[in-house]
Amino acid sequence: MAASLQPDDLPEPAKANPSDLRSVLVTSVLNLEPLDKDLFRGSHHWVPFTQRLFGGQIVGQALVAAASSVSEDVNVHSLHCYFVRAGDPKVPVLYQVDRTRDGRSFSVRSVKAIQHGVPILTCQASFQRFQESPIQHQFTIPTVPPPEELLTREELIQKYLRDPSLVEKHRMGLNKLLAQEVPIEIKPINPPDMFHQIPQEPRQMFWVRAQGVIGPGDMRLHCCVAAYISDYSFIGTALLPHLKYRMQFVASLDHSMWFHSPFRADEWMLYECESHWAGNSRGLVQGRLWRRDGVLAVTCAQEGVFRVRQDPSKSKM
């Protein structure tokens, strides 16, 4: 998986604390067992409340499998995935890579994630050799407080739990969240009020990074970790204006990413998420991962399906 960073104004990495451990995202979550040429097996760790596999892990592992089949002088520039079946957390996932094309500048790989003999995800990933170009532009990073001034996800949950007016069902849900071992650090900016069902703008931002140390030299590995990170709390952005509804079913349909500039997934990045549209039981979310120095590192997009729980009294009318 080793690949050198391409020329860019990538900031100097922060000095790692010698007591820090290598990120569990590298050692376990995104670690695949090779079974044969272009065939891998992945295990899984964190399972959300849905009791389905976390989509970000399947995308990240699929990208690990794809990256293992290309030459070291190319890096991923885009991926496009479809979630076709719910993942079963009780069995491993097989990743089958098809070497679709190797060109002079671009290489394309197709990956199937398989359980019980059928695909649960299909992924197309494209890799590019570095090419200089005078054509460059990007948006400007939003002005937000730095991560040092914000509470972590866990600190926010503890703050909510100290509120004596918090109803019991929300208290139970927060305790379940607190018990989960999520391998990423999150610091929300203006966290939404999820407890009073007040409609909110379909936009959220938070600082995010992998727990532990990944290391500065393997850009492909940082991209695989970013794929994992990008799916966390992403599709929920589209539901922020609709908190009054009780959801019967929420699931991601697809996930796309475009990688623009080198970055470190174990350093703080700003994740800016917004939903421009929802309808026909679907919602579309777009996201941007910014390096702390203002460089746009990754653009993401995802569509999900939402089914609202029907009021039994209305369904009889």
SS (HEC) of the chain: CCECCCCCCCCCCCCCCCCCCECHHHHHHCCEEEEECCEEEECCCCCCCCCCCCHHHHHHHHHHHHHCCCCCCCEEEEEEEEECCCCCCCCCEEEEEEEEEECCCEEEEEEEEEECCEEEEEEEEEEECCCCCCCCCCCCCCCCCCHHHCCCHHHHHHHHHCCCCCCHHHHHHHHHHHHCCCCEEEEEECCCCCCCCCCCCCEEEEEEEECCECCCCEHHHHHHHHHHHHCCCCHHHHHHHHCCCCEEEEEEEEEEEEECCCCCCCCCEEEEEEEEEEECCEEEEEEEEEECCCCEEEEEEEEEEEEECCCHHHHCC
The pLDDT of residue 297: 98
User: Which of 28-37, 56-65, 169-178 shows the lowest mean pLDDT across its residues?
Assistant: 169-178
pLDDT score recorded for residue 178:
65
With 80 as the cut, is the pLDDT of residue 137 above it? yes
- pLDDT reported for residue 20: 42
The domain locations on the chain are 24-129+153-309
Distance CA 36, CA 96 (A): 10
Average pLDDT over residues 185-205: 84
Q: Is 70:110 a contact under the CB 8 Å cutoff?
A: no
Q: Mean pLDDT for the chain?
A: 87
Query: Two tokens at 155?
Result: 């600190």
Burial bucket for residue 252 (CB in 10 Å: 0-12, 13-18, 19+) = buried
Closest alpha carbon to 264 in 11, 29, 24: 11
State residue 21's pLDDT score.
54
Task: Say which residues have a Cβ less than 8 Å from residue 184's Cβ, sequence separation at least 6.
Answer: 25, 208, 209, 210, 211, 228, 229, 232
- What CA–CA distance (Å, rounded) separates 104 from 300? 26
The C-alpha atoms of residue 231 and residue 285 are separated, in whole angstroms, by 11
- Check pLDDT > 50 for residue 18: no
In this predicted model, what pLDDT tens digit does every residue of 96-120 receive, in sequence order? Answer: 999 999 999 999 999 999 999 999 9
pLDDT digits (tens, 9 = 90+) for 255-293: 999 999 999 999 999 999 999 999 999 999 999 999 999
Handedness of CA 307, 309, 311, 312 (dihedral sign): positive
Q: What pLDDT sits at residue 92?
A: 94
Mean pLDDT of 57-69: 96
- Active site members: 231, 252, 302
The confidence score (pLDDT) of residue 48 equals: 65
Q: What's residue 46's pLDDT?
A: 64
pLDDT digits (tens, 9 = 90+) for 80-95: 999 999 999 889 999 9
Between residues 60 and 309, which one has the greater pLDDT? Answer: 60
Angle ∠(48,214,63) on CA atoms, nearest 5: 60
Residue 190's pLDDT is: 85
Span 246-263, average pLDDT: 95
CATH no. of 24-129+153-309: 2.40.160.210
Q: What is the pLDDT of residues 199-224, one digit of tens each?
A: 899 999 999 999 988 877 789 999 99
